Amino acid sequence: MAHGAANLVISGLRERIQHLEGTPTRLKQVLPFGVADIDNRLPGGGLAFGALHEFAGGGAGTVDGAAAALMVAGIAAQTKGQVIWCLTRPDLFFPALAQAGLHPNRVIFVESDKEDDVLASMEEALAYGGLGAVVGELVRLPMTASRRLHLAAEKTGTIGLAVRRWRRQTEATDYGQPTAASTRWRVSVLPSEELPVPGVGRARWFLELLRVRAGECAEFEVSACDAAGQIAISYSGRDQNARTANRA
């Protein structure tokens, strides 16, 4: 066999293997956080479009769960196009989403009675294409269902964002089960940033990257999403003093 023909055969085999593994040969676009410490941990330098990503609060309480939802809102705010938000509980506080950069005129809420309907709505929206992001609030995300969502996102290039919200602590243990998501994150609330005057500073989160394909886990302390949906690395007063001393 000629050298050129052999290369064509090898290239074809590689494409077939990558297709079976669910990793297309085309380079995926990414949505960077704009924070080097985080983006450097992610393949391509950001969250991949055409993929599913998971987010959950650090505990079973509503405070951490709300932080996870606000982080997802900030991510969705940085995409272009309409955002589909699928849920079973209409308890989102929209002014808070707007403060994270996601404004009312961009969001279409799809409310269902059952989580199976949320999964079906997410899959249909991801397969439709042309959307900025598709968000779904879920208690459980079985491997088969997550795989269907990931494949639907992959075909259209839409980013899928699963927010895992629990009503009780026993449900939170399901977050350790494997899924087809490209990344898995956990968000916990930290004390707000200190101000030189009395008042409440910018919210802070403890952000954990629990899983990433072709990457390593990591932890970050960040300032919560601003009006443009952007987060930033946050330092406590003690850490900031140490950094200032090191520069001196």
CB neighbour list of residue 168: distance below 8 Å, 6 or more residues apart: 60
Query: pLDDT band for position 242 (50/70/90)?
Result: very low
Averaged confidence pLDDT in the chain = 85
In the chain, DSSP assigns E strands to 30-31, 47-48, 52-57, 83-87, 107-111, 133-138, 159-164, 183-190, 204-212, 218-223, 232-233
The residue assigned the tokens 């930290």 is 190
Q: Which two tokens stand for residue 95?
A: 């002014």
Please give the DSSP secondary-structure letter assigned to residue 51: S
The predicted model scores a pTM of: 0.82
Question: What is the predicted pLDDT for the residue at 106?
Answer: 96
Query: pLDDT band for position 146 (50/70/90)?
Result: very high
d(CA 78, CA 101): 8
Give just the sign of the alpha carbon dihedral 132, 83, 220, 224: positive
| Type of residue numbered 184 | R
High-pLDDT (> 90) share of the chain, %: 66
| Residue 222 host element (H or E) | strand 218-223
Q: Is the model's pLDDT at 20 over the cut of 60?
A: no
Yes or no: say if 180 and 150 are a contact pair by the CB < 8 Å rule. Answer: yes
